[in-house]
Structures are given as structure tokens and as C-alpha cells.
A and B are shown apart, each in its own frame.
Chain A
């Protein structure tokens, strides 16, 4: 956990906008994977105030929300994040899962583990990190939730970690390694997922595809 916080705080990315969360129950300690690296990552600044068009939220077919064949022993309702695939699966049972395209953590900010959704929030507020305020001093230091917020339309807080599943106002980042460890979906997808899962939902974060799948 300590190591996660060190990396997370170093990034001071949008994942850190809200730190407080209840304790995890029945969860494993998440493990950070890999070391920070400048290679093979999408360096995109957050774009507070940018409101994506419906057109820009049309993802490439492989990242569009869809029902897929998915073998797993996990019960229906479980979320499985396959970081290396850039997919989030919501297990449906009957060897099926609803699959969403996601953006994942940059190298050094990826992690794996079992957590639970501790809290859900519609249109989460956003606080730009200090280095962003330095670069863009015109920004409000707090933006109440809304369409231009980098955290997008919904947020699901993962256990006691600093990580979240959230929306984004940057649809182009789906399919990329871009975040500080959070998982981002386009707003229509995160709204869809939000409406399907309750607080307490198990979230399994994996790096590589499971052998059972």
C-alpha cells in the first residue's frame, strides 16, 4: 500500500482528487506493477473545461461496449479489469460478460488486486493538482461536477485506495496507458456501468489475461 501511495502522489494525477474512502473488506492489498517509465505511454494533459462531442465519443469498434464470450469462475456482477487488454468486463454469467474499452495507468502506475466499490458519485467534483495550477493559473482550484470535468460523469471509488473507475472528457485516451492508476471510460459507458453495479461490487484488477478466459 505504501508503495502505491508513493507512486500515486508522485503522479498527482486526477486520481488524487479525492483521497478519503472507507476500508476495504474482503479485499487483497493491491500491488503496483512495474517501474515508472517514460516509454510507451500516452502523455496527455488533462483538459479541464473540454466538453466532448457525441461524435468524439464514438470509439473504435474494439473499444465499444459489447457483450462478449467470457469464461470465468467469478460470479455474475463481478468487475474484472484486464489492464493489458484495456478492457473492463462486467461478468454476466453463462460465459458472457459486458466489455467496455478503458484507459489504464501509465507504466509504473499500473496495479493489480481485489478491491470493492466503496462509494459511487455522480458528476464528481474535480480539483486540479498543484502543478496544473502552476501551468494553468486561470483554472478554478475546485470545479463542481459537470460536463467539462476530467473525471467525467460518474466515479466509483475502489476500496481505500486512491484509484477509481471514472468517466473522462477525453474519449481519445480510451485504449491507452494514460492515467495515474485509475480506469477511465467514456461518459456514456461509465454511466451505463454505474447504473449496473452497486456499492460493494468486487473489482478484480489483473495485468495479463486470465488463463481461464
Chain B
């Protein structure tokens, strides 16, 4: 399954608003965020993410293919995505050694994984760039995190 591009006008409008919000959040009091993607449905569900994944990262597109191959070889040290107590997924945020519950959310026709209380596309989210069931590519929203850790490639481990 590939992610769809559009999810309706409501989602697009909401996402645009949230995208604009993202750049302002660190400079002053943020306006009250709208309900997180209430009218948009993400293209993937939490359950699709549960399991063990090989995880690798790259910065240059030229490294994407070999990074995916490298991720496939990392199942001996898997990144485990568990089921959260509230139906989300237990994943690690950058520089955080404890897993926390995140949710899959949609905005502006895109799918994100991030804290449940933040609107889709906020600084702490990662965008799901692609997902086909066995390989997921995610990109951090925060450009600082992108520069440090690059684009993440998850490859599902067998068994």
C-alpha cells in the first residue's frame, strides 16, 4: 500500500494551518491548536506499525537504496514498535531513551507519527514519507533533527 496524496479539502486546510504554525512555535505563545486531525484519516494505522524493524538512516538520496539494504541487516538489533496502552504505538523520540506513546495522524494530505496532543505536522512529529507494509521511510519535521539523524528507513524483520 502506498500513501495517498490527498485526503480531502478539510485535511488540506487543516494541514496548511498547522504547517504555518510549525515555524512559529518556538518564538512565542502558540495559538490554541485545533483538534488534532479530527476530520482527516491517516493512510496507515497503529497496528500496521507494531513489530520489529531494522532501522537505518541516510542524508543523501544517493544513499537511500543501500541504506534500505543496511536496515534489512539490522534485525539482530531491532527497533521494536509496541502497542501503546491507549491504542497508539510505543516509539522513541529523538534523544529520548524511553519509549513513549505516539499516534498516527494526518494533515495536509500527509501522514505523521507523533505525540497525541500535538497537531499533525508539529515539530515533534515524523512524517511517513512512504509505507508499503514492509518498508517505511520517515522524515522528522524538525529540520535540526533531520540534519543530525537524517531520513529513517524501517524494514520489517521477519519472524
Does A130 lie at the interface of the complex (its beta carbon under 8 Å from any beta carbon of B)?
A: yes
Contact present for B58 and A144 (CB under 8 Å): yes
Name the contact of A141 in the complex, choosing from B56, B63, B66, B149 (C-beta under 8 A).
B56
Q: Which residues of B contact A133 (CB under 8 A)?
A: 77
Bound together, the chains give a CA A142 to CA B79 distance in angstroms of 12
Does B55 lie at the interface of the complex (its beta carbon under 8 Å from any beta carbon of A)?
A: yes
Does A50 lie at the interface of the complex (its beta carbon under 8 Å from any beta carbon of B)?
A: yes
Q: Which residue of B lies closest to A169 (CB)?
A: B148
CB-CB contacts below 8 Å: A192-208 with B: none
Contact present for A144 and B56 (CB under 8 Å): yes
Of the 9-residue stretches B10-18, B24-32, B88-96, which lies at the interface with chain A?
Answer: B88-96
Contact present for A49 and B148 (CB under 8 Å): yes
Does B150 lie at the interface of the complex (its beta carbon under 8 Å from any beta carbon of A)?
A: yes
Of the 9-residue stretches B34-42, B43-51, B67-75, B110-118, which lies at the interface with chain A?
Answer: B67-75
The 3 A-B pairs of least Cβ separation, nearest first, read A49-B148, A138-B92, A142-B56
Residues of B in contact with A (beta carbons under 8 Å apart): 54-60, 63, 66-67, 70-71, 73-74, 77, 79, 92-97, 99, 145, 147-150, 152
Residues of A in contact with B (beta carbons under 8 Å apart): 48-51, 125, 130, 133, 135-148
